[in-house]
Structure 1
Amino acid sequence: MTTTGQAAEHEPVARVLPMLTVPHLDRDFDYLVSADQSDDAQPGVRVKVRFHGRLVDAFILERRSDTDHVGKLGWLEKVVSPECVLTHDVRRLVDAVAARYAGTRADVLRLAVPPRHATVEKRPPPHLEPLTPAPVDAAGWSVYTGGERFVAALQDGRAARAIWQALPGESWPARLAEAAAVTVNSGRGVLAVVPDQRDVDRLHAAAVDRVDESRVVALSAGLGPAERYRRWLAVLRGDARLVIGTRSAVFAPVADLGLVVLWDDGDDSLAEPRAPYPHAREVAMLRAHQVRCAALIGGYARTAEAQALVVSGWAHDLTAPRQTVRARAPRVVALEDSAYAQERDPAARTARLPTMALDAARAALTRGAPVLVQVPRRGYVPALACARCRTIARCRHCTGPLSLPSRDAPGALCRWCGREDAALRCVRCGSDAVRAVVVGARRTAEELGRAFPGTTVITSGGDAVVESVPHRPAVVVATPGVEPVADEGYGAALLLDSWALLGRQDLRAAEDTLRRWMAAAALVRSRADGGLVAVVAESAIPTVQHLIRWDPVGHAEAELQSRTEVGLPPAAHIAAVDGAPLAVDALLDAADLPPQAELLGPVDLPVGARRPAGIAAEHPVNRMLVRVPRDAGLALAAALRKASAVQSARHDQEPVRVQIDPLHIG
């Protein structure tokens, strides 16, 4: 019911931001605050307002004594809760992210502030004893050049920023937990963002050994609404000093933030799939810049974006000396190109498991150690083709790719719609014979079981993820990112089907391949302990050479240089504008693009890219790329943001999706 009482005596006007999805309404609105609402209606609280006749959620941004609105003001309908859930720092961050990614503040707020759970909010907060700093042994950082100075800077509360190159075999959760504990002991908060729940669990286990468990909070999408909101409130109220979470946790309202940590920034799961599609690395950088706090981005490999931060001087290198790297790294071997090698093993180039890979596995099993086998695809046979003409087998109903879910499956299964095709026949030549285009982890496990009879074969991937394996002979087949940790390290690792990773038509194919390979190879024992990594790829490939030398920094430098030469991110900013051809043209015509802007396209929407919401499946979708120099990125985002608002207000165009620096350009 609309409030009609007396207006508040002090600052009777509330400036609010309604949670509206359309770009042209991404602005502030003024409402009157009644006297009985005044105490609770403070900046940062949730309210309900009447907007065009309907009740919508909103946040109060500020209280004012006057308004620049001409006409009669409406009243705040309701103060949902007196809890100030939108802090000043998070509000600034939301504004910056919306500006960086040409999005609306309402869309960013949905990522930053979780839905309210009234029952949890009304519970009294637990009583916590004052935090007593415990000594932290950070000697593990001493092996890195500048590591001790970085830890000292955290102790002193200085805004040190580093790109950390973790050594092979390094316990990254332990090192990150040490850096976090040092910062917490200095009286400041820590925010750590990792790719997935498995990483959250590992870092949380390491953190509670060094920081009081009551002050450590783990946030992730897998928590239920009540538990997630309870933990988020603990962060908001200052009870939690160390927050660990997945990508959306980068917005967590950590009080007196002293350190932002990001692990494995090349992982795709750190890119938000919802508008405005921010990347956790960029949000973490914005946050560190705004609050002037320390930042640490780490990984076994390195992205071109992380290397660009070092080159620009925003962060410094945190790497180990080469002699230390060589001592810690396993020996890496690849297919040889010499005539002698081809004569010795003529099938090596075409075999999925050449002799050198099988020999490496046998040697490790003989020594009593487990062997890791990394396979790029999960499932049994995730892609099929005609055995006669090699035409890819597709579903007759939705044209999705057909797969074979198991050895005894009665027919092929569509990976898109789930329909089964028991009488598969090629649409081109009519043959009913099929062959595997890609072999998945389960099929690989079967093949290795036959190759090593009597040896235990363990599969990790999909819904059956194995966390760790004991030190005993076993063959562990895993997809990238879910490799189990071996208690005493793997004796060997086989990296199969390299063509499936390196052969992708993607800007980041080489970078992502090296990242996945190094993550698996880092689990293998050192060269001195007999650790061996066999990569089934030609040794002349540059990415393979960087793996052999264990040189992720050199690979990142080469990636950055090659992208700079052709004007691709991170050397430039690129906006991908997807939509119906006429709608894309209309938006770009309405945009006041920077003078340096270069239009590329249009082209068809790349294969695998999601269609913009609201466009019928039978309608064509185009992609236009807009490229500008790096210093014009904010101007480009502002122009597209304003044009989107203009087009949204007209209501005569189909929806258009704008993505700034998308991971996959196509």
Structure 2
Amino acid sequence: MGKVLPMLGLAHLDRPFDYLIDTDQDASAVPGVRVRVRFAGRLVDGFLLDRVTESDHAGKLGWLERVVSPEPVLGADLATLCRAVADRYAGTMSDVVRLAVPPRHARTEKEDTPVPASSGPVAMPDTAAWTTTYSTADSFLASMHSGHPRAIWQATPGEDWPSRLAELAATAAAAGRGAILVVPDQRDLDRLEAACGPIFGERCVTLAAGLGPTARYRRWLAIRRGAVDVVLGTRSAMFAPVHDLGLIAVWDDGDDSLNEPRAPYPHPREVAVLRSHQQRCALVIGGFARTTEAQSLVTAGWAHDLVADRATVRSRTARVVALSAEDRRVAGDPLARSARIPGVAFEAARSAVAADAPVLFSVPRRGYMPSLACARCRAHARCRTCHGPVQLDAGNVLSCRWCGRVERSFRCAECGGSEVRALTTGARRTAEELGRAFAGVPVATSGGASVLDEVETGARIVVATPGAEPVVAGGYGAAVVLDTWAQLDRADLRAAEDAVRRWMAVGSLVRPHAAGGTMVIVADAGLAPVQAMIRWDPVGFAQQELAQRTELGFPPAVTMASIDGPPETIGAFVDGVGLPDGAERLGPVPLPAGVRAPAGSGDSFDGDIERILLRVDRRDGKGLAAALVAAQVRRNANHDTGPIRVQVDPPTIG
């Protein structure tokens, strides 16, 4: 007989069930294979987790219907990880398995997986770039051969991070172990693949959403069968079944592309922490900036700093300039700031162009004028149909950014005014203004559906939205960050942290100050995020943010769960949660109009949506997750069908 996990996705059925196995299926029914079983009168998919000789079930056992495939795709290590992730995020194991194991393709399974000619340990890489830059790199690299070190890596400005990650993976491979390198998006993955390809050849594969299902499953099988031992990918690659895993690395863990939109919403950073602990492998979480979650691992002593000394950081950093006293009149009026660029920014751009160097302008919005307000009372311009934000396109037509409805006769809901003015200037409008200001200089835009990966060196203007900044050989001569208030004034716990992360990503593309590189941040120099940029001190800023969240009781200093849904549904659910001692309930509070359930969650929110937050001490996080699961079990058993979304440590609290 065997223990089978039915893929039901229901909390009260989230456990293995015992089934009898016929002698004809005995050879193929090995732990990890896909099976079909009859459950409650219907055939369902499942995974065989284990073979046992006895059952503790007193009733009559059913028979395994059939083994779908003899391929053991859910190995013991992966099954243990999926169980741990489900427990961490108050979800079901079957939902996590769906994220971890790609859908089956029978024809692909029948193909032979060739063993690469370059199999076996690789040569030790040249790690001089690590050891000469980062003070504790020697001990970390040495520990990779004999232990499982864990470090939070603070990359220096301009660091060739794909090459550094490739060197870490090669160090693990030299010891005969595998590696998983996770990055936020396809652009980062392309750069990482270019760095790893020459070192590992066919022993290295990429896993990303852009692959077709057949190609993805073929590569996944190559990993499971041991033909590949270095995996590069986006968030789902964290579950890749690498044999004898020696290293997990996550780059830029604060990027919102790493936020999983499907239940139970596990973050790759947290999955990496769990997997590193379970499989005793090295862990590196790196980036130009630092999240408070990463800093909390250092503060707790679970991970160590991997940083450069201040002299090295200063030598690689551009000169960072914020608004001076005479420029603060621009900072005090966001409408004026969107209309023109301060003189200090123009001076930096002109100097770079005169030196035949490219200039980067970072704008927080794409489009023409993506955010408008009433010219009389300055209330945000909203669509009369869906209450979405109204924008102005290049043809001077007002339309809704959510539903696309054209607004032919605007009337302010607050004061009745009929004229609008810009709150922010989009990338296209900024490019027009800069084209007039820098006559004869080529102007390029990058953002939205048109993202540039690289631009040529030489005098040119590049206008990009955050995350879409193209790379240029030798770095930009200058960079200007505009409309910073749009990033700092968001009603979000992570607004300042995200702003610093995005600004440091821009600053890392600029030449060092010794080579004439200058970065201008159009914001008050007295603000803490701007001070962090001027000092280029991501660690200090993360420490400050963590201290503030500890004082206020926000993640990651505490464990917090959000429950979203109709008011009466979430109220009844929370009332049934057996909270640990000392737990706090915050809310309910209404969520903004237009909030919908994440793709793939199965939820459908209509009407008023509210949120309740549950907060407990970090030590009681497992207790809170278990209480939420128990409440879900009671809810399913009572056939409560109202839509609800439960997230542990949600990325956005508001």
Alignment partners' CA distance in 2, 1:408 and 1:324: 49
- Answer yes or no: is the 8 Å Cα contact 1:335–1:348 preserved in 2: no
What TM-score does the superposition give when structure 2 sets the normalisation length?
0.95
**CA distance 1:617–1:240, shift in 2 (3 Å):** closer
CA positional deviation for 1:365: 0.4
Alignment partners' CA distance in 2, 1:261 and 1:36: 44
Aligned to 1:113: 101
Structure 1 residues without counterparts, runs of 5 or longer: 1-12
* 3-state DSSP of counterpart to 2:198: coil
CA positional deviation for 1:344: 13
Aligned to 2:556: 570
Counterparts of 1:97-112 in structure 2 under 5 Å? Answer: 97-112=85-100
- Answer yes or no: is the 8 Å Cα contact 2:480–2:519 preserved in 1: yes
- Answer yes or no: is the 8 Å Cα contact 1:157–1:186 preserved in 2: no
- Answer yes or no: is the 8 Å Cα contact 2:179–2:229 preserved in 1: yes
Aligned to 1:149: 139
**CA distance 1:65–1:527, shift in 2 (3 Å):** same
Alignment partners' CA distance in 2, 1:639 and 1:159: 33
Alignment partners' CA distance in 2, 1:615 and 1:507: 25
The answer to whether residue 121 in structure 2 is matched with residue 125 in structure 1 is no
Residues 181-238 of structure 1, C-alpha deviation per residue, up to 9 Å, x if partnerless?
Answer: 1111110000111100111111111011222x10001000111100111111111111
CA positional deviation for 1:394: 2.6
**CA distance 1:16–1:344, shift in 2 (3 Å):** closer
CA positional deviation for 1:341: 6.2
The answer to whether residue 466 in structure 2 is matched with residue 480 in structure 1 is yes
Aligned to 1:177: 166
> Counterpart amino acid of 1:598?
E
Deviation larger for 340-349 or 473-482: 340-349
Aligned to 1:536: 522
Alignment partners' CA distance in 1, 2:423 and 2:605: 27
Alignment partners' CA distance in 1, 2:484 and 2:403: 29
Alignment partners' CA distance in 1, 2:334 and 2:214: 55
CA positional deviation for 1:32: 1.7
The answer to whether residue 271 in structure 2 is matched with residue 293 in structure 1 is no
Residues 79-133 of structure 1, C-alpha deviation per residue, up to 9 Å, x if partnerless?
Answer: 1100000011111110101110000111111110010111111111124223352
- Answer yes or no: is the 8 Å Cα contact 1:166–1:172 preserved in 2: yes
The answer to whether residue 292 in structure 2 is matched with residue 304 in structure 1 is yes
- Answer yes or no: is the 8 Å Cα contact 1:241–1:254 preserved in 2: yes
Deviation larger for 581-590 or 628-637: 581-590
Alignment partners' CA distance in 1, 2:334 and 2:487: 19
The answer to whether residue 355 in structure 2 is matched with residue 367 in structure 1 is yes
Aligned to 1:56: 44
- Answer yes or no: is the 8 Å Cα contact 1:385–1:393 preserved in 2: yes
The answer to whether residue 446 in structure 2 is matched with residue 457 in structure 1 is no
> Counterpart amino acid of 1:151?
L
Alignment partners' CA distance in 1, 2:242 and 2:330: 61
Residues 572-596 of structure 1, C-alpha deviation per residue, up to 9 Å, x if partnerless?
Answer: 1111112233322322232221112
Aligned to 1:5: none
- Between the aligned residues of both structures, percent identity stands at 56
Aligned to 1:546: 532
- Answer yes or no: is the 8 Å Cα contact 1:102–1:641 preserved in 2: yes
Aligned to 1:137: 126
- Answer yes or no: is the 8 Å Cα contact 1:24–1:648 preserved in 2: yes
Aligned to 1:4: none
What is the number of equivalent residue pairs in this alignment?
Answer: 648
* 3-state DSSP of counterpart to 1:290: helix
Alignment partners' CA distance in 2, 1:429 and 1:509: 30
Structure 2 residues without counterparts, runs of 5 or longer: none
The answer to whether residue 395 in structure 2 is matched with residue 408 in structure 1 is yes
Alignment partners' CA distance in 2, 1:356 and 1:70: 79
CA positional deviation for 1:606: 4.8
Aligned to 1:316: 304
Deviation larger for 67-76 or 287-296: 67-76
Deviation larger for 587-596 or 464-473: 587-596
CA positional deviation for 1:432: 4.0
* 3-state DSSP of counterpart to 2:25: coil
Alignment partners' CA distance in 2, 1:390 and 1:525: 39
Alignment partners' CA distance in 2, 1:480 and 1:112: 30
Aligned to 1:526: 512
The answer to whether residue 63 in structure 2 is matched with residue 75 in structure 1 is yes
Alignment partners' CA distance in 2, 1:633 and 1:427: 44
Aligned-residue CA RMSD (Å): 2.0
Alignment partners' CA distance in 1, 2:530 and 2:567: 41
* 3-state DSSP of counterpart to 1:570: coil
- Answer yes or no: is the 8 Å Cα contact 1:180–1:259 preserved in 2: yes
CA positional deviation for 1:604: 1.4
Aligned to 1:195: 184
Out of 162, 168, 172, which is 2:157 matched to? 168
CA positional deviation for 1:618: 5.0
Deviation larger for 201-210 or 605-614: 605-614
Alignment partners' CA distance in 2, 1:637 and 1:77: 34
**CA distance 1:348–1:107, shift in 2 (3 Å):** closer
Aligned to 1:388: 376
CA positional deviation for 1:423: 4.2
Out of 242, 250, 254, which is 1:254 matched to? 242
Alignment partners' CA distance in 2, 1:374 and 1:35: 66
CA positional deviation for 1:147: 1.2
**CA distance 1:341–1:32, shift in 2 (3 Å):** closer
Alignment partners' CA distance in 2, 1:342 and 1:39: 76
CA positional deviation for 1:349: 10
> Counterpart amino acid of 2:288?
Y
